[in-house]
Structure 1
């Protein structure tokens, strides 16, 4: 019986570990100096690799940051999806998503700082996280839970609430319920009245279970 060759699998695992190391280094450095100021030298020094190793994975820092954005979006969606999909109401799903992502500032401040420094998302992109929000906003507009408006406007309302909340919650003097306040403000912007928006935004919400692998885990491990 032929012995199975494990070398391709081992090589693939090694490549993925290096890719995640470069991504997590970009997050840590980008959280401090801003993604726009990130250089290849910052990444290779922080990750303790050669420039040649960097170029095996990414042709530029722009390509690296695009991969970081996709990875963060994918992980946030995978972690938030099981919690917000427990709600039938699109307004509850949108509010829950805002609260969960904003709370990243408390649980994973390095990741949140990077997202804040990354700035306003391109709401016309096919980013997985934006698609996740777009789905619920579209459902809410169709069901007349939200006011009729262009979907790009609705996305900007939600994105602004998330970024603003995360920015505030990175500071120790921020109100402990700021994520709920931001979610309520977003729902009012989407057309709900003040009392219902507040009620929805303060309902019991589960806690994200952070996985033991992936970009969040790798970034935390390198920060220790």
Structure 2
């Protein structure tokens, strides 16, 4: 119900009364301004959040600015590692120069180069993990899931040289990463299911991750037949895990068909490397 117009006498600054119209509600003789202030006081006593909209906007803008700067620094980390002429890890000076910021800005976001490398690796793998997760979940048992992951990784090396350059030069797979943990989980599951035969999950994880690490170098430095290389390496990894030769080849081929059939609709970074 809208406000009515209630006439009342108001005393001017000179003391002389004059008549004016002040809007009040139909259910109260208080002016609307006083009613509003009273409502705000009641809400505050009840613990309601009265933060102005303008303040929320400022907080959001500040957060977006921090996110953009963090992303800018992480991009500089990856670019610094991916330069062909680089033989060692970049310094803080290399990163701030690439990002166009001062050293103090870097240390507002990261305590060290290693922390920045870990964060950059997580960013790079998050896209692969999120887009590949559903495909891996549909892969079947532990051995099928492990083989799908191996082939997806090797295909990503070919499809995205920028991604693979960072992974190789930053020695990212040598760190305790989500990828390494996922490999260990799939190995344990496949072993329990009787699809592979391993005595030590950590040693088996090193076999898989070590092969993938060296494959990055081979695939990006002149392997004549990349497809044959990926197929042969996948089979060799499975053989090293105790899978018989014929079964290893069958699983490898089945996973290749599975990936090429579903990846175009499931994986954001996918393009068919054999076309």
TM-score by length of 2: 0.69
Q: Which residue of 1 aligns with 2:162?
A: 110
Aligned ranges 1:152-191 → 2 under 5 Å: 152-177=202-227, 178-191=229-242
Cα deviation, residue 172, structure 1: 4.7
Aligned ranges 1:58-207 → 2 under 5 Å: 58-119=110-171, 121-122=173-174, 125=176, 127-177=177-227, 178-203=229-254, 204=257, 205=259, 206-207=262-263
Q: Which residue of 1 aligns with 2:82?
A: 31
Larger Rg: 2
Change in Cα spacing, 1:22 to 1:38, as seen in structure 2 (3 Å) is: same
| Moved segments of 4+, more than 6 Å | none
2:261 counterpart of 1:210: no
Structure 2 segments unaligned to the other structure (5+ residues):
1-49, 270-275
How far apart, in 1, do the equivalents of 2:64 and 2:268 lie? Answer: 21
**SS of match in other structure, 1:37:** coil
Cα deviation, residue 38, structure 1: 0.8
Point out the structure with the larger strand share: 2
2:142, 2:186 within 8 Å by CA — same for their partners in 1? yes
Cα deviation, residue 164, structure 1: 2.4
2:173, 2:213 within 8 Å by CA — same for their partners in 1? no
Aligned length: 208
Cα deviation, residue 83, structure 1: 1.3
How far apart, in 1, do the equivalents of 2:61 and 2:160 lie? Answer: 30
Q: Which residue of 2 aligns with 1:53?
A: 105
How far apart, in 2, do the equivalents of 1:30 and 1:83 lie? Answer: 30
How far apart, in 2, do the equivalents of 1:161 and 1:79 lie? Answer: 23
How far apart, in 2, do the equivalents of 1:70 and 1:54 lie? Answer: 18
Q: Which residue of 1 aligns with 2:272?
A: none
Q: Which residue of 1 aligns with 2:53?
A: 3
Change in Cα spacing, 1:82 to 1:113, as seen in structure 2 (3 Å) is: same
- Structure possessing the higher relative contact order (Cα contacts under 8 Å, 6 or more residues apart): 1
Structure 1 segments unaligned to the other structure (5+ residues):
212-224
2:145, 2:186 within 8 Å by CA — same for their partners in 1? yes
How far apart, in 1, do the equivalents of 2:172 and 2:194 lie? Answer: 27
Change in Cα spacing, 1:13 to 1:181, as seen in structure 2 (3 Å) is: farther
